[in-house]
Amino acid sequence: MSKQLKVVLVGLPGSGKSTFGRYLGSVLNFPFYDLDQLIEERNQMKIPDIFLKHGEGQFRNWETETLEWVLNRDESYVLASGGGCPCFNNNMELINEKSTSVYLDVPLEEISGRLGVSRFQNRPMFTGLDQGEVTLKLKSLLIERDYFYNQSKIKLSGEDFSAELLVSELIRLIKSQG
């Protein structure tokens, strides 16, 4: 395949973007990047510290700058975006313009079940919340963000989807565009 394939995964926190992205990258033999990790590396600061010291507005600006930087890389790869990334600064438009976007639409009950409270504690918006509050927060986020996520070129729904299924969808999409 001479044309680069950039796959950007979007979805709620805990939907499996990083886990599935690493696996998909290995299946495709592409590098895997996590947008939050790239933001931390570029700004030499952990995400919770960015929120604490600079606020969400600055974080979102750095997120967009880092997204533009990685989307302009001259290589094929799989990227896990942050859960809120598609919803700010026309990021979803940028993602769709420069990559193949994939929405991991995992049921809220599945996300809540697979992620205990401890897994959310390093995420600023979930700090100090109990399991019930985490579930309510996820429902609220889905209502706010679903519009953006649903602009993705590919939507994988349910709790079980495979890299093989996504690869076949990507091939179908590439053939239809070629």
Which helix H or strand E contains 40, and what residues bound it? helix 35-43
| pLDDT for res 116 | 60
| pLDDT for res 113 | 72
| pLDDT for res 27 | 86
Q: Reply yes or no on whether the pLDDT at 105 is more than 50.
A: yes
d(CA 112, CA 135): 6
Neighbours of 158 (CB within 10 A): 10
| pLDDT for res 10 | 97
Tokens 């974080």, residue?
Answer: 59
Give the model's confidence band at 1: pLDDT under 50 very low, under 70 low, under 90 confident, else very high: very low
pLDDT digits (tens, 9 = 90+) for 136-174: 888 998 999 999 999 999 998 876 666 677 777 777 776
Domain locations along the chain: 6-177
CA of 97: how far to CAs of 32, 68, 134, 152, in Å?
20, 11, 33, 11
d(CA 155, CA 109): 18
d(CA 4, CA 61): 26
| pLDDT for res 123 | 64
Q: Could you tell me the strand order of the sheet in which 6-10 lies?
A: 32-34, 77-80, 6-10, 100-105, 154-157
Fold of 6-177: Rossmann fold (3.40.50)
Query: Poorest-confidence range of 15-19, 40-44, 137-141, 160-164?
Result: 160-164
Mean pLDDT of the chain: 86
